Amino acid sequence: MTKPTPFTLRIPDADIADLRDRLARSRFPDQAPGEPWAYGTDVAYLRGLVQYWRDHFDWRAEEATLNAFPQFRVALDGIDLHYLHVPGVGPDPMPLLLLHGWPGSVFEFLEIIPRLTDPARFGGDARDAFTVVAPSLPGYGLSFRPGQKRYGVPEMADCVCALMHDVLGYARFGAQGGDWGAAVTSRLGYAHAERMIGIHINLMMAAGRDPKAFPNPNEEERHYLAELAHWMHEEVGYQWIQGTRPQTLAFALTDSPAGLAAWIVEKFRAWSDCGGDVERAISRDRMLADISLYWFTAAIGSSFWPYYARLHGSVIVPPGETISVPTGYAQFPREILKPPRNVAARVFTDIRRWSVMERGGHFAALEQPELLASEVRAFFRELR
């Protein structure tokens, strides 16, 4: 096993200058008639964002914030896997794997990690401390290089499990995730149950998306089916293009930073608890840090691959199978889909904690780091 090596992110000055030059030469479409954002990203908003990105955004400051955490790379499964490894401050920190999704990155976790590793610093109990391992998912950001193999959810789960057990020596560990991170976390609970202390997720990707599974729905299930129908009719276009023609889309988003920003910002706005103003939920600088990481690493095409794999037969849990490890779930009000507990229990057979949150959306670690950290601590406290 290759030994991990310390890593510090330093994007070349020439790459930053090239980005600014491309931003200065952006071409914008006209605004379709009707309400802003009705047909996708609002042109006026994106013009302002691109101008700020070009003239005021401080990449070096965001880079330094990330570099304040211990980072490493290790040759694993044929790729160079990047991860943060932050020791806990407490009497017996639990190892916790923290997993992002799309269009996220490890920049999602900069506020929540200290709340998990050093809870006493935020008024919590040091006995709840975790040692956090937060990888860039294989094929994403700093775990990508051109030409490397592509990963679906099962392969991602195998890779990060090998990181925790084979590389870092954790016999058992917890995992937490949202979006694809929730899918990988769920897969860990299925395929690597013997390694898992428990799993905590804030998106139920492995449960209940087939309307035929509800022959006689109750009121709660009817509400969920209506939510699901709206999602399938209005919101899944990005999944179909990313899942069927990822290479074609990658040309545009790898060549145009404005196009990349438009593609990602629309999801930050649509899926966050922002009331229509994305910057109420997620700061402009942190959004641009995430988008810039996709840009500088040219990883957007590779990041689409889980969608392709899922549409072409890759599964989180095989039909009829279940996940039996202790499971916690935080349901944020602006999450994209919120299945009822009885539906989730068909797959997750040992749900120990089910919390309905007061505020927050799909990007919980980014939007509500204190709320999510408190939930994660509370869930795993019973498993120590």
Q: What is the CATH number of the domain that holds 106?
A: 3.40.50.1820
In the chain, how long is the greatest CA-to-CA distance?
61
Check if 190 is active-site.
no
Check if 307 is active-site.
yes
Instruction: For the sheet with 130-135, list strands across it.
Output: 5-6, 71-76, 79-86, 130-135, 94-99, 173-177, 196-201, 327-331, 351-356
pLDDT band, very low/low/confident/very high, at 211 (cuts 50, 70, 90): confident
Q: What average pLDDT does this structure show over 255-278?
A: 98
Check if 362 is active-site.
yes
Give the C-alpha separation, 345 to 241, whole Å: 31
**Residue 213 scores a pLDDT above 90:** no
pLDDT at residue 150 in the model: 97
Task: Give residue-wise pLDDT tens across range 51-109.
Answer: 999 999 999 999 999 999 999 999 999 999 999 999 999 999 999 999 999 999 999 99
Q: What average pLDDT does this structure show over 266-285?
A: 98
Residues 189 and 327: beta-carbon distance below 8 Å: yes
Question: Looking at the 3D structure of the chain, how many domains does it have?
Answer: 1
> Residue 276: what are its φ and ψ, rounded to 5°?
95, -15
Structure tokens at 138: 């294989």
Task: Round the average pLDDT of the chain to a whole number and report it.
Answer: 96
pLDDT at residue 12 in the model: 98
CA dihedral over 33, 35, 37, 41, signed as positive or negative: positive
CA dihedral over 145, 247, 177, 312, signed as positive or negative: negative
Using a pLDDT cut of 70, give the percent of the chain over it.
Answer: 99
DSSP element (H, E) containing 35? none
pLDDT at residue 210 in the model: 78
**Residue 243 scores a pLDDT above 90:** yes
**Residue 265 scores a pLDDT above 80:** yes
**Residue 217 scores a pLDDT above 70:** yes
**Residue 317 scores a pLDDT above 70:** yes
Range of the domain at 276: 5-381
Task: Give residue-wise pLDDT tens across range 134-189.
Answer: 999 999 999 999 999 999 999 999 999 999 999 999 999 999 999 999 999 999 99
Q: From the candidates 179, 273, 285, 290, which is the catalytic residue?
A: 179
Q: Crossing angle, helix 43-55 and helix 284-297, to 10 degrees?
A: 80
Q: Is the peptide bond before 103 cis (omega within 30 degrees of 0)?
A: yes
Residue type, 257: P
Coil, strand or helix: which one is 374?
helix
pLDDT at residue 1 in the model: 62
CA dihedral over 209, 212, 216, 219, signed as positive or negative: positive
Q: From the candidates 83, 307, 308, 329, which is the catalytic residue?
A: 307
pLDDT at residue 93 in the model: 98
Query: pTM of the predicted model, to two decimals?
Result: 0.97
